[in-house]
Amino acid sequence: MAGDQREPSTAEQVAREASLYGPFTDVVRELVDATIRTEIDDAEVAGIQTELASIVARLRTRQLDGPYAVNNRGRHWGNTVVGLRNAIAPPLHIERESTGRAWSSFHLGAAYEGPPGLVHGGVSALVLDQMLGEATGAGGKPGMTASLTLTYRRATALGDLRAEAWIERTEGIKTWARGHLSDADGVTVEAEGLFILPRWAREKAAAQPPPSFE
């Protein structure tokens, strides 16, 4: 794959790209929100469409061959929940602790609407899947989602929200995690999931030489 041929970025390069593409993606995110809620004249919409088509063509003159992480040694800037370069992502800025907990406060606006004024249920699932995975990784038990069960306690209004997740228990390559989404009035959605360390990760770990204590 093309990503296997790229040299690792230095810390300085990563910081430079973050300072450039973070604000750039924020503007695109604002564009999405403005597109949904604008009430400008038809002629103005048509004119802006032409301008945007030209901008898209400029961006297409040089780009990656395939998804972002594949071409950047696993950097998750294309992730649909936390991606710095993904305007679909809210994005969530997640805090973690090594006990296997993760939490984030964030805002979901017009782009995440399902029923009028409410967060789409699939978006709630998307956020909680990410949060449970973040908790397992923080606790040193990373894995891929094997199952995810959601209980929708009540509707989640668009606006300021908080998500929390934690490891419940582990058993070999399996880790169970729980979490919830809440607003100012309390929990709206609860989640529980099973995460399994994938075969390729197990094989990679098994191939590592044992530590030396000399």
Same domain, 60 and 111: no
Q: Tell whether 81 is covered by a domain.
A: no
Question: Higher confidence at residue 76 or residue 131?
Answer: 131
Instruction: Say how many domains are in the chain.
Output: 2
Distance CA 102, CA 94 (A): 7
Strands 101-108 and 95-97: antiparallel
User: At 163, is the secondary structure helix, strand, or coil?
Assistant: strand
CB 79 within 8 A of CB 89: yes
Q: Which domain holds residue 137?
A: 92-203
Same domain, 102 and 190: yes
The HSE-up count of residue 20 (CA atoms within 13 Å, CB side) is: 6
Same domain, 97 and 184: yes
User: What is the dihedral angle through the alpha carbons of 203, 204, 206, 211, rounded to the nearest 10 degrees?
Assistant: -170
Distance CA 202, CA 22 (A): 34
Across 76-95, average pLDDT: 95
Other Cβ atoms less than 10 A from the Cβ of 23: the count is 9
For the segment 41-51, what is each residue's pLDDT rounded down to a tens digit?
A: 999 999 999 99
Same domain, 28 and 109: no
Same domain, 107 and 188: yes
Same domain, 57 and 136: no
Q: Is the peptide bond before 115 cis (omega within 30 degrees of 0)?
A: no
What does pTM read for this prediction? 0.88
pLDDT at 72: 73
Question: 8-17, 27-36, 56-65, 161-170: which has the minimum mean pLDDT?
Answer: 8-17
Side chain identity at residue 152, one-letter code? Y
Looking at the chain, which runs of residues are DSSP E strands? 95-97, 101-108, 144-152, 159-171, 174-183, 186-196
For the segment 110-136, what is each residue's pLDDT rounded down to a tens digit?
A: 999 999 999 999 999 999 999 999 999
Q: Tell whether 142 is covered by a domain.
A: yes
Model confidence band, residue 68 (pLDDT cutoffs 50, 70, 90):
confident
Same domain, 48 and 124: no
Across 32-36, average pLDDT: 98
pLDDT at 126: 98
pLDDT at 1: 37
Mean of pLDDT over the chain: 92
Same domain, 58 and 100: no
Same domain, 152 and 116: yes
Q: Tell whether 166 is covered by a domain.
A: yes
CB 38 within 8 A of CB 30: no
pLDDT at 213: 52
Percentage of the chain exceeding pLDDT 70: 91
pLDDT value at 74 more than 80: no
CATH number of the domain residue 174 falls in: 3.10.129.10
Contacts of 147 (CB under 8 A, 6+ apart): 193, 194
Question: Higher confidence at residue 69 or residue 52?
Answer: 52
CB 100 within 8 A of CB 165: no
What are the tokens at 128? 């909680």
Model confidence band, residue 202 (pLDDT cutoffs 50, 70, 90):
confident
CB 193 within 8 A of CB 205: no
Q: Tell whether 80 is covered by a domain.
A: no
- Segments in the chain forming alpha helices (H): 11-37, 42-59, 68-71, 121-138, 199-207
pLDDT value at 52 more than 90: yes
Distance CA 83, CA 90 (A): 9
